[in-house]
């Protein structure tokens, strides 16, 4: 299983960075969980709109 967290904009606040690091640490500590990849990606508003548009088109 792959987990990807998409963040709109940048993580500038210490609390946001700490939360993401905590999730990453928890996922890495799970042994034999089936998680093969974990990523935090920053995307623009336009990229987010494209993702939503593509998902809606696939449902039709």
Domain count for the chain, please give it. Answer: 1
pLDDT tens profile 10-38:
666 777 778 878 888 888 787 677 877 88
Which pLDDT value is given to residue 34? 80
The whole-model pTM stands at: 0.55
Q: How far apart are CA 44 and CA 9, in angstroms?
A: 6
**Among all chains, which residue has been given the structure tokens 């939503």?**
52
Give, in order, the Cα–Cα distances in Å from 50 to each of 6, 10, 11, 23, 54: 13, 18, 21, 26, 6
> Phi/psi at 54 (nearest 5 deg)?
-65, -40
- The domain containing residue 22 runs over which residues? 2-59
Per the CB < 8 A criterion, the answer to whether 48 and 8 are in contact is: yes
């Amino acid at each position: 299983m792959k987990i990807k967290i998409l963040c709109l904009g940048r993580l500038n606040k210490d609390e946001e960075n700490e939360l993401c690091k905590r999730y990453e640490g928890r996922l890495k500590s799970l042994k034999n969980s089936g998680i093969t990849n974990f990523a935090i990606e920053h995307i623009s508003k336009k990229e987010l709109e494209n993702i939503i548009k593509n998902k809606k088109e696939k449902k039709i």
